[in-house]
């Protein structure tokens, strides 16, 4: 078995692996998305294990943000588990930055518990629905809309170069991803909450959401302004494809103790991946 960093020449082998292990239309099955996610070492790297036939049997990705290597897309074929391969892949990522991750399922949590990682508070997702909507139902809120935001579209910054998303920067400096087919705006950074809301509702969006970590003090202002945790709303977490009633507890973990002032941004890890969440 060989473990090493992947490069673009591995793409056909990687694509075969991703098609085999992930659901149809997973973003990593798209070459341009893989290049965006892992093609520049300033933002992320991909690490693979190959068997004696040169076939990829294991993979972890690392998304670099906040001086941390956020582990994502970790998978090892069942017959290769228990042989120390995953540890070798993690070691390759650790050469760049300290390791952390966000985990949403029992398998992920179990893995990190066995590795003796530190577990922090879950991430939080706040949602606010346009107060001008008279009848708040799933069908009325999560529906396709038409908004005129062409003058606000941005492509600056790695996050907004993500294939297939539409990033916008509003008048107050807040940034977001427009998800018009589902009626909403997925906020990335908030500058002025009151100005953000005023403009977004004026443009005709039906809802907004904002993902961050529990220790983000912006959450106090969100709560004062009527934003609610997602499970108290009708807007599901997963919207592409949309899954009615889908809400998720996502835990933040790290291999070593991190600065308590660290706020987990939407661009860290893959909890904020607009293409699938």
Q: Where are the domains of the chain?
A: 2-97, 124-247
pLDDT of 222: 97
Distance CA 273, CA 165 (A): 10
The token pair at 262 is: 């660290």
Pairing status of strand 99-103 against strand 251-254: antiparallel
pLDDT of 227: 98
Count of other CB atoms within 10 angstroms of residue 11: 13
pLDDT of 253: 95
pLDDT of 277: 45
Q: Please check whether residue 277 is in contact with residue 165, taking contact to mean a CB–CB distance below 8 angstroms.
A: no
pLDDT of 273: 67
pLDDT of 271: 78
CATH 3.40.50.300 applies to domain 2-97? no
pLDDT of 231: 92
pLDDT, one tens digit for every residue, the chain (277 residues): 899 999 999 999 999 999 999 988 888 999 999 999 999 999 999 999 999 999 999 999 999 999 999 999 999 998 888 899 999 999 999 999 999 999 878 888 888 999 999 999 899 999 999 999 989 999 999 999 999 999 999 998 999 999 889 999 999 999 999 999 999 999 999 999 999 999 999 999 999 999 999 999 999 999 999 999 999 999 998 887 788 888 888 899 999 999 989 999 999 988 776 554 4
CB within 8 Å of 150: residues ≥ 6 apart: none
How do residues 139-170 score in pLDDT, each as one tens digit? 999 999 999 999 999 998 999 999 889 999 99
């Amino acid at each position: 078995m060989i473990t090493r960093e992947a490069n673009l020449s591995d793409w056909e082998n990687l694509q075969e692996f991703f098609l085999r292990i992930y659901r149809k239309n997973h973003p990593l099955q798209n070459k341009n998305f893989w290049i965006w996610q892992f093609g520049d070492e300033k933002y992320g790297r991909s690490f693979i294990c190959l068997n004696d036939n040169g076939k990829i049997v294991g993979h972890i990705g690392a998304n670099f943000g906040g001086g941390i290597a956020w582990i994502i897309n970790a998978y090892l074929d069942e017959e290769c588990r228990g042989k120390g391969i995953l540890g070798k892949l993690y070691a390759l990522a650790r050469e760049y930055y300290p390791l952390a991750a966000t985990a949403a399922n029992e398998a992920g949590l179990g893995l990190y518990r066995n590795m003796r990682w530190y577990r922090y508070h879950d991430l939080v997702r706040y949602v606010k629905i346009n107060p001008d909507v008279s009848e708040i139902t799933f069908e009325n809120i999560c529906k396709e809309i038409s908004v005129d935001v062409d003058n606000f579209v941005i492509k600056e910054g790695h996050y907004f170069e993500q294939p297939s998303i539409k990033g916008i920067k509003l008048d107050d400096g807040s940034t977001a991803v427009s998800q018009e087919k589902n009626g909403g705006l997925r906020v990335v950074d908030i500058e002025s909450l009151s100005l953000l809301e005023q403009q977004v509702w004026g443009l005709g969006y039906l809802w907004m959401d904002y993902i961050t970590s529990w220790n983000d003090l912006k959450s106090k202002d969100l709560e004062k302004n009527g934003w609610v945790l997602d499970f108290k709303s009708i807007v599901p977490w997963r919207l592409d494809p949309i899954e009615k009633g889908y809400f998720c507890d996502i835990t933040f973990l790290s291999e070593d103790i991190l600065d308590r002032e660290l706020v987990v941004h939407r661009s860290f890890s893959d909890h904020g991946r607009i293409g699938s969440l």
